[in-house]
Structure 1
Amino acid sequence: MFQLRLLGPVELVVRERTVEIGPPQRRAVLAALAVDMGRPVAADVLIQRVWGVNSPDGARRALHAHIARLRRLCEQTAKDGGDVQLCLVRRSGGYLLEAPADQVDVLRFRRLADRARETGQKDDERAALLREALCLWRGAPLADLGGQWADRVREAWRRQYVDATVAWAAVESRVGDPVAVIGPLTDLLDEFPLVERLAEALMRALHAAGRDAEALDCFATVRRRLAEELGADPGLGLREAHRTILRGNLPAPDRRPALRETSEPVPATPFPAPASPAAALWPGAVPAQLPMGVRGFTGRGDELAQLDRILVSAALQPSAVVISALSGTAGVGKTALAVHWARHAQESFPDGQLYVNLRGFGSGGSVLSPAEAVRGFLDAFGVPPARIPAGLEAQTGLYRSLLAGRRVLVVLDNARDVEQVRPLLPGAPGCLALVTSRRLLTGLAVAEGAHLLTVGLLSHGEARVLLTGRLGAGRVSAERAAVGEIVGRCAGLPLALAIVGARGAGRPRLPLAALAEELRRADNRLNALDGGEATSQVRAVFSWSYDALSPAAARLFRLLGLHPGPDAALPAVAALGGLPVTTAVALLAELVGGHLLTEHAPGRYGFHDLLRVYAAELVAARDSDLDRRSATHRLLDHYLHTAHAADVLLTPQPHPVPLPPARQGAAPEALADHEQAQAWFTAEHAVLVAAVAQACADGFDSHSWQLAAALTTFLDRHGYWRALAALQTTALEAARRQGDRAGQAGAHRGLGLAQDRLQRGDDARGHYLLALELFAALGSDAGQARTHQHLARMSAARGRHQQALDHAGHSLKHYRAAADRAGQSAALNHIGWLRAQLGDHHQALAHCRQALDLARETGDLNGQAHTWDSLGYIHHRLGRHPQAVDCYRQALDLFHRTGDRQSEAAGLLCLAEIHRVTARPDAAHTAWIRALTITDELGLPDADPLRVELLSRLGHGAGSGPRRPGVRSR
């Protein structure tokens, strides 16, 4: 008995023993013959299948050799197997492989699948046949073969496998446990995420197993994938499966007339539908007020899935009125989403769909009153005017009576506040109210149990799909770069994207690059997003939200247009407005509730780019020059004084350069220790880098270079060297414009440090020497000490240890003159390490131990870390491995605490070297991996010496010896 297996790696099995076929090309020849089992295959066809269309000159000779070997293999197999019927013969026109169809897995698979499709089969028989067919698969067909022909065969056979799996899932769900098919379908959908019939089968199986929420999640995921990758909506089958699930939870009621003479029993539904006296009066009206949906609606898979889940969960709480409130910033597409979903779900509400635009945010202040809205609903139900009572309360009572016993969807669009909505909510179960608003309607969740859903900006992929739908795939593909810029500058705001799409569609010959250029001009961006009428003008739409603010909140929103971004913490916002923190909290809550700001992390606020542009326009137009400059001054004072205090905590300084007092209202943050300083810099460094540039641009030159100086240590330790270089270039410009030599000296030192870290040694040395010259002219011992320290590290890195020792000696002398004991510790540690490089290990120990005492005395954690690191190095050179390991572990703990990532990686490399020489390869490998991970996170290039050494160690098990890229920078 034998089997020729193609549904997986190509295998020949005789009496449960796998026979060696030979090299890949021979297996490919066997497979190329087997797919046409019983039919001759021409030699040219075989060559093309195995070697491709551009076959080498020797392909025909190689084919003949493989055929000869395969023929002998078939003969030997028949001899060994006795009853084996496998033969390879020459026929006119080619070669023919013969074997019983049931002994070739792919042929047996097809035969079983065909039998399962025959009419007259019972479901249990059909399920058994398909189950047996699917069990023949051992993985991807022809898994060990490459080439275009094998790829085409795999693709075709996998389609057959998908078809068989879908068919099996359908019958298995009917005759057995639907849970059994969920796992295989899920795995297959992961492999083929865009095959809709797989998703449909999985949804139906989940539904049959009572897992409707998962089924709806599956639909949302596939819908999102189709939109992002193909720009398409789900097909009919998938949509019908979705509707089936919704109907399964919310079955359509008996569609008998509402007017009835007797009280007939009503079939049970998830929403009990008691008889309605009011419905008996006006039986014929079934309102259908939903507006037309947005053409080419795209994205929002997660939000649509949440709404679907709310609809399904309504069936589980039939005694409650279901309310969902969508909120989001102006132009984000709340109405489009609500209408799109409402039209999708309208079959679940056969008694009607009501819609009203409450005009809570619109031009002219024409907010629709609840009384007007209720009257419109009564008209929609056909209530004669003479029968409508006077007064809002009575009209609301009649409206709710009409809804009792019916299943109606009520869409309340563009609500201003909770009070406008409450009279319009249904009063009896069976209905669903969908509310949209620019404000977060928390009151509805508290009192009415509403589900709150915030509608965010579109992702980059969703935005591209939206533009593709408006402009056409060809045009978008032809100008990918321009489309990418348009998407970015529209900030994911659907309204903005729709306006640009409409402008582009209306001018088909206009290059999209021209539209991108319009948006690129910051002062023109909102003008470029003008669709010609109020509802299609981004500026006008934003204004409706802004006009609803209280005067104090409106002022704060405008002032936030002065903030450099990308976001702002609560204390900074308070400083910008010159407000107590408690007042700022209340105003920020109003802005967040109106979706003019987002609180994306606790205590941190931001808005998308277009709202930032709008706020900047407003503050320029409505606030005086004095008010704007005062607000900016307060903000920069807040950042500068807090950063200065944080820098002193990171690097102890005996006599930090004093700052002018902060302006009233600037309120710097109080930081207690090193950890708080580290955390503050981590949270704010992107804002501070932007603030340096803004300070320079707005003429606050002192703030610019002083803030850059305060940021230098943090940016250096965390590897933000390109940002540091840009920052110090701006600082140098500001200091030169101001004529401040101290600022220029500090900027040159910072630029030298950044260029040094970026492996630009000549540029670094030039800046260091300029800094040294300026610090000497100023009589600044502290500045000279730190610059000599940098030069010492550079010289050591180039192997010039005596020159480095001279710079380190100058550094120690100047630190002593400045009475900077933490600086003296750094210089002594550097001298000790350099002594060790020169082989004077006992002098090195003495210097480093003195350095450690001073670092502990001053509480300098980073100084302690570097000194422990040097002590580890010295003990290693002296052969004291246990002491070296202990020192390195002390250093690594402190480097991690202080955030000095590059030094932590260098210390791990040295620790790994000790593990290697002491025959602990696993520990060494772990340390190398940890170090390499840190260099990945820092973004170090492969040419960096530290990465070179790590890659060498991991690739070859040994390198050139432990390296330290430098010692501490202060």
Structure 2
Amino acid sequence: MRPGLTFAVLGPVRAWHDGVALPLGSPQQRLTLAVLLLAQGRPVSTEDIAAALWENEVPRAARGTIRTYVHRLRQTLEIGGGEPVLTSAPGGYALRVNADGLDLSRFQELARNAEKSISQGDLESGLRDLHAARLEWQGEALAELPFEYAARERGRLRQRRLAVIERLAALEIDRGRCAGLLDQLAAEAAAEPLRERLQELLMLGLYRAGRQAEALETFDRVRRDLAAELGVDPGPALRGLHERILRADPALLGDRVERHRPTAQPATPCQLPADLPVFTGRDAELAQMRCRLQPGPNRPAVVVVHGMPGVGKTTFAVRCAHELAGDFPDGTLYVDLRGFEAGDSALDPADAVRCFLDALAVPTQHLPDRLDALTALYRTVLAERRCLILLDNARDTAQVLPLLPGGSRSLVLVTSRVELSGLVAGTGALTVSLDLLGHAEARQFLTRRLGEDRLAAEPGAVTDIITTCGRLPLALAVVATRAAANPGFSLAEVAAELAAAKGGLDAFASPDNLTDVRTVLSWSYRALSAPAARLFRLLSLYPGPEMGVPVGASLAGVPRARASVLMRELAAAHLVTEPRPGWYAWHDLLRAYAAELLQAEDSHEQRQAARRRGLHCHIRSAHAATQTLSRQQDGPELGELEPMVCPRAFTSHQDALDWFGERHGVLLSMIDRAARDGFESEACRLAWWIRHFLDLGGHWRDLEVVNETALRAAQRIDDKIAIGYASRGLARVAAHHGRYESARQHLAQALACFEAEGDLLGRAFTHRQLIGVRQLDRDIEGSLTESAAALELFRRAGNPLGEAGALVAEAAGLTRLGQHEQALESGERALALLADSGEPYDLTLALETVSRSYFHLGRYQECVTYRERDLAISRTLGEHGNIGTSLVHRMITSCLIHLGQARHAAGQHERAREDLRAGLASLTAELAEVYRTIGRYHESRTRLRDTVTALETLLAEPDTGADWYDHATEVLDTSVTAAVEMGFGAYILEY
């Protein structure tokens, strides 16, 4: 960051360069800066910035607007050269801010230093830092920003400020130096009339300053405010202080924690639970702990072990504690905080502190009532001790903080189902995230409980058990317990029991709540907020192994920014994992549990509404991806976007291909489920909008299955448009497999449906598809008739892209008839229509057709020019994708071979051989892939292998000039003929 650049958010949002204020522009621009400043150097996603600016009404042009704000901020902030201040980060932006260049950072650092000094007994330094932290505030945080986001952050920051003021006031009052703070305390108490701790400090300060009547008036005012606003009485602390003031309790004039310092001899507690004898695995995590927790100045004072329910956190932490106990001669303390047990049974931190003080031999009759006083006494007792403290099953950071010692001589191990990010941020704790066991660890887990002999006798059953349990230690323990209790059961029978549960949780039931998987999961579920719990249930409707935030938003019917917050809550509770930013996955047993909850807690109508939103999200996303791949308007109407549906947007051809590739199986599953669950219309539309990808990728069996499903669904609801599109999909498969009569029948049915509904474009695209079928069936005259029909319909519909495609098909037919001048004319007209369309596939077909015409007219150099353009576009389409034997691969193969032939005819012999060799290598790879995928007993297997061998032998030969080219042409002709005769050539490499 440039020297002299400083910022403020604890007041109006401001920036200075060398003490000179910088103009920050509009309130929206100031808010953008505020969001980046509050992140304190961490990247902020564009979505989070948009949510701050526009809440639930994010405009379509949000990204562009944010880029404008960021650009203006850069111009303002980045003056005088040097490294950039405001940088782009993955998915967003980051602002480089020095810790001393932002008032919020200075405030937080001073508050941390103060607590550290106080815990080490340096009260004067602590007070000095607290006063300095208070002075960092220059009014209301984020002032002059009238946005909901700013209001929320303003409230959060105010709570931090009040916590510092309360801490400072308590210490100064305790030292008898409160007079200088009373006016500010009174002002803060007036602004926060319902904050009882603040009112308590004001009352105590007033009383110690000799202003008893004002202290009592303060209590009366608080009592009235609480009754009017909340309908409640003051809490026990405030009421107790009021009573003591009324009776003029002398102790109020000099309460000290030191008054309670114990005089008994220190005890050496040994409270750790027993180490599990059959503990196994976790070697890497244990090694990490041993390495990081070696005695020394850099050893962390707190370790947080977190992970999903049932992953073995307590067992792991107990093993670690036993290994480390020798380094802590003053004893070991243990408490189960019961953070996730049934009911409201989480242990109160005050009760935990009392238990620890009792174990440390502090006389219970001297214990204070208030948590802060208890904590101070606890930290005083531990100040000179080296103890190991295991806090098991913590619910949140607030439950843990009072149980942390003040110094660094002791070590605290914390286990939790949540990440406790606040604790980690505030203490610099070491975090250990426990994941599922590896397969080898899971087998070792079973071996320690059942014996190697029993496992070795049934290795297949062992694999099935591990797979069904999902390598979750709790599930493995339940199954191992059942197998151990019934030694007469074979492991195959145990595995069969698990399989019979069909992925449900009944197979993992146990009479003991501590080992019943359903019960253990319920403890984490009940700790969620209501919106997060609802989202958790609804996610079970999604059939994929990994889901993005837009899917969660659509299922829950909430804005994307809100869904992101809820997904992070689920991840923090380890009910889902975040394998990559913005993408979430979960364990199969968690999915099964969520599905049970959904069935039990959500009505049929609620489930169906969520299913519909999820389907519409994927229909819209598939449509957007298909439109990115091809600009042709070939498909049914989408209708209005349903509220709270968040489809995916795509930035490039490769982005769309990747999405289809990753979601391929999920989309097929969704179509099948939709057709079965009463969403026939959605099943038909989704089947059509993935058709282009399935065709492009050569997924012919999938294309056939989804269109058969769509056809049955469309017939059930008598949707003629849907019947037409499903019939077209089946025609595409039939034509690919050479069943041309069947393809024509399907297309005739489609035409009848579109004609009945008056769908011009549907008819036009059906005629265009018939062109290809007739050309493949060598009916060239019939293909030209279909071309004329398609052209007339596209022109009537005002669809130039469709018209261009029909012209390309017409040109191909004319070329077959030897009418090359007419073919060239149709091809050039198509190119003119496609010039600026962004439609890549029809453009390559037009270039191929025009180049073919030039070749036959003897205009070889022009043929080469158009072929080079064709090859460049085809390579762009397939340069990153793993498309295998798909259309793009074949386009590149065909183009290279034809380019070689055109160069040879144009006299460019050396380059002709290079292109032909590259084309033959591509053809060889294609046919070799086919050979690997066809069955061992396929009738053409031997001939195909011989064809591949002949091509490989040719490619191994050195380039001998014209002789090699002539030989290569002979091998090519033989190979193509063989491929076509065997049914593996859906295109013919000939001019």
Shorter chain as denominator, the TM-score bin is: 0.5 to 0.7
| Structure-2 residue corresponding to 1:463 | 442
| Cα separation, 2, equivalents of 1:626 and 1:949 | 59
Alignment of 1:640 with 2:640, yes or no, is no
Whether 1:287 and 2:270 are equivalent positions in the alignment is yes
Q: 1:814 aligns with which of 761, 767, 790?
A: 790
1:730-755 deviation per Cα after TM superposition (whole angstroms, max 9, x unaligned): 22332232233432332233234346
Shift of 1:415: 0.5
User: In structure 1, what is the Cα distance between the partners aligned to 2:684 and 2:650?
Assistant: 22
SS class of match (2:407)? coil
Give the percent of matched residue pairs that are identical in Structure 1 and Structure 2: 35
1:627 and 2:625 equivalent?
no
Give the C-alpha shift of residue 522 in structure 1. 5.7
User: Residues 966, 911 of structure 1: CA spacing in aligned structure 2 closer, same or farther, 3 A cutoff?
Assistant: closer
User: Structure 1 939/535 Cα, relative in aligned 2: closer, same or farther at 3 Å?
Assistant: farther
* TM-score normalised according to structure 2 size: 0.61
Q: Distance in 2 between matches of 1:468 and 1:855?
A: 67
Superposition deviation, residue 534 in structure 1: 0.8
Question: Which residue is 1:941 aligned to?
Answer: 933
Equivalents in 2 of 1:645, 1:591: separation in Å?
29
**1:571–1:667 Cα contact (<8 Å) kept:** yes
Instruction: State the TM-score, normalizing by the size of structure 1.
Output: 0.62
1:115-136 CA deviation, whole Å, 9 max, x = no partner?
Answer: xxxxxxxxxxxxxxxxxxxxxx
What residue is the counterpart of 2:481 in the other structure?
502
Task: Return closer, same or farther for 1:653/1:883 CA change in 2, 3 Å cut-off.
Answer: closer
Partner of residue 891, structure 1: 873
Is 1:310 the counterpart of 2:292 in the alignment? yes
Report Cα offsets for 1:484-518 as digits up to 9, x if no partner.
44333323322122212222232333344444444
Q: Which residue of 1 aligns with 2:888?
A: 904
Q: CA deviation at 1:912?
A: 5.0
SS of residue paired to 2:690: helix
Aligned partners of 1:422 and 1:371: how far apart in 2?
Answer: 11
1:552 aligns with 2:537: no
Q: Which residue of 2 aligns with 1:355?
A: 334
Instruction: Quote the residue 1:297 is aligned against.
Output: 280
The corresponding residue for 2:583 is 604
The answer to whether the aligner puts 1:960 opposite 2:972 as a matched pair is yes
Q: CA deviation at 1:847?
A: 4.1
SS of the residue 1:365 aligns to: coil
1:581 aligns with 2:567: no
Note closer, same or farther for the CA distance 1:328–1:858 as it changes in structure 2 (3 Å cut).
same
The CA distance in 2 between the partners of 1:678 and 1:390, in whole Å, is 64
Task: Give the Cα–Cα distance (whole angstroms) in 2 for the partners of residues 601 and 558 of structure 1.
Answer: 22
Is residue 558–residue 644 contact of structure 2 (8 Å, CA) maintained in 1? yes
Alpha-carbon separation, structure 2, partners of 1:755 and 1:515: 46
What SS is found at the alignment partner of 1:715?
Answer: helix
Secondary structure of the 2:343 match is helix
Which of 696, 704, 709 matches 1:717? 696
- 1:318-467 matches, cutoff 5 A: 321-383=300-362, 385=364, 391-467=370-446
- The alignment partner of 1:413 has SS state of strand
The code of the aligned residue for 1:941 comes to T
Measure, in 2, the Cα distance between the counterparts of 1:367 and 1:609.
28
Letter in 2 for 1:953: L
**Structure 1: unaligned runs, 5 residues or longer:** 1-276
Paired residues of 1:804 and 1:834 also in contact (CA < 8 A): yes
After TM superposition, give the deviation of residue 444 of structure 1 in Å: 1.4
Structure 2 CA distance, aligned partners of 1:585 and 1:616? Answer: 21
Closer/same/farther in 2, CA of residues 485 and 404 from structure 1, 3 Å limit: same
CA distance, structure 2, for counterparts of residue 520 and residue 316 of structure 1: 53
Q: Structure 1 residues 515, 845: CA separation in 2 closer, same or farther (over 3 Å shift)?
A: farther
| Correspondence 1:704 to 2:683 | yes
How far off is 1:909 after superposition?
2.7
Mapped to 2, the partners of 1:334 and 1:625 lie a distance apart of: 37
Q: Provide Cα deviations, 1:423-453, integer angstroms capped at 9, x if missing partner.
A: 2223222333221111121101221112333
CA contact (8 A) 2:811 2:823 kept: yes
SS across alignment from 1:535 = coil
Aligned equivalents of 1:295, 1:903: Cα separation in 2: 56
Structure-2 separation of matches of 1:887 and 1:419: 65
Give the CA deviation at 1:687: 3.5
1:860 to 810, 835, 839: 839
Q: Distance in 1 between matches of 2:306 and 2:534?
A: 23
- Taking the aligned partners of 1:821 and 1:614, their CA distance within structure 2 comes to 53
The letter of the residue matching 1:566 is: P
Aligned Cα root-mean-square deviation (Å): 4.1
- Distance in 1, Cα, partners of 2:562 & 2:362: 50
Quick one: structure 1 residues 288 and 785, their matched pair in 2 at CA, closer, same or farther if it must change by over 3 Å? same
Q: Give the Cα separation in 2 of the matches to 1:306 and 1:676.
A: 38
Residue 75 of structure 2 corresponds to none
In structure 2, list runs of 5 or more residues that go unmatched.
Answer: 1-259, 935-939, 956-967, 977-984
SS at match of 1:454: strand
Cα shift readout 1:107-158 (whole Å, capped 9, x = no counterpart): xxxxxxxxxxxxxxxxxxxxxxxxxxxxxxxxxxxxxxxxxxxxxxxxxxxx
TM-superposed CA distance for 1:908, in Å, is: 3.6
Q: Deviations over 1:895-918 (max 9, x none)?
A: 237969423322443455456974
Q: Give a deviation string over 1:689-735, Cα, whole Å, max 9, x none.
A: 33212211211111111111111112222344443333223223322
2:742 aligned partner: 766
Relative distance call for 1:441 and 1:870 in structure 2 (3 A) is farther
Quickly say closer, same or farther: Cα 1:575–1:390, change in 2 above 3 A.
closer
Distance of aligned partners of 1:378 and 1:923 in 2 relative to their CA distance in 1, 3 Å threshold: farther
How far residue 832 of structure 1 moved from its aligned partner, in angstroms, is 4.2
Contact 2:824 2:853 in 1 (8 A): yes
Distance verdict in 2 for CA 1:413–1:649, change over 3 Å: same
Match of 1:695 in 2: 674
Q: SS at the partner of 2:779? A: helix
Aligned counterparts of 2:379 and 2:301: Cα–Cα separation in 1: 14
Supply the AA of the counterpart residue of 2:561. T
Distance in structure 2 (CA, Å) of the matches to 1:915 and 1:278: 94
2:545 equivalent to 1:566: yes
Q: C-alpha separation between the residues in 2 aligned to 1:576 and 1:841?
A: 56
Quick check: 1:561–1:612 contact (8 Å CA) kept in 2? yes
* Residues 672/922 of structure 1: CA separation in 2 closer, same or farther (3 Å cut): closer
- Which amino acid is 2:615 matched to? L
8 A Cα contact 2:636 2:721, kept in partner: no
Q: Is the 8 A contact 2:349 2:399 kept in 1?
A: yes
In structure 2, relative to structure 1, the CA distance for the partners of 1:293 and 1:661 (3 Å cut) is same
The CA deviation at 1:294 is: 6.0
Cα–Cα, structure 1 residues 409 and 706, in superposed 2: closer, same or farther, change >3 Å?
A: same
- Equivalent in the alignment of 2:165: none
- Given candidates 770, 775, 796, the residue that maps to 2:751 is 775
Residue 535 of structure 1: how far off its partner (Å): 1.2
Quick one: distance in 2 between partners of 1:418 and 1:850? Answer: 70
Instruction: Quote the offset at 1:360 in angstroms.
Output: 0.5
The alpha-carbon deviation at position 613 of structure 1 amounts to 1.4
> Is the Cα–Cα contact under 8 Å of residues 775 and 781 in structure 1 kept in the other structure?
no
User: Which residue of 2 is the match for residue 735 of structure 1?
Assistant: 714
- 2:893 partner letter: L
Deviation at 1:623, TM superposition (A): 1.5
